[in-house]
């Protein structure tokens, strides 16, 4: 009986975990200071601007192995 419950709840738990991860990423992107800069490719004008730009969490970069699989 308990095996049937685990088989039913496992996909639901996976969905909730994926949903939470997606929501976390969206919040990080929305709160990213670089999103509100008009010229995002340009460097900051002052040291205070620099500190503001790096105040958020750095985005995760894929490993070299993951990048090599994308090519």
What tens digit of pLDDT does each residue of 36-51 get?
666 666 777 888 888 8
Distances (CA, A) of 38 to 26, 59, 63: 20, 20, 30
Residue 60 in domain: no
Residue 42 in domain: no
Residue 59 in domain: no
Share of the chain above pLDDT 90, in %: 14
Domain with 20, as residue range(s), is 1-27
Q: Which two tokens stand for residue 10?
A: 């496992």
Residue 23 in domain: yes
32 CB neighbour count, 10 Å cutoff: 15
Question: How many domains is the chain partitioned into structurally?
Answer: 1
Residue 16 in domain: yes
Residue 15 in domain: yes
Residue 32 in domain: no
Nearest to 44 by CA among 36, 35, 53: 53
In 1-71, which residue ranges form alpha helices assigned H by DSSP? 2-30, 47-53, 64-70
56 versus 13: the higher-pLDDT residue is 13
Above 90 in pLDDT, residue 16?
yes
Dist. CA 67–CA 56, nearest whole Å: 24
């Amino acid at each position: 009986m308990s095996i049937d419950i685990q088989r039913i709840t496992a996909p639901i738990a996976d969905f909730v975990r994926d949903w939470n991860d997606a929501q976390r990423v969206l919040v990080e992107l929305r709160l990213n200071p670089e999103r509100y800069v008009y010229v995002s490719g340009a460097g900051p004008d002052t040291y205070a601007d620099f500190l503001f730009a790096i105040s958020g969490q750095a985005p995760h970069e894929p490993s070299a192995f993951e990048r090599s699989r994308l090519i």
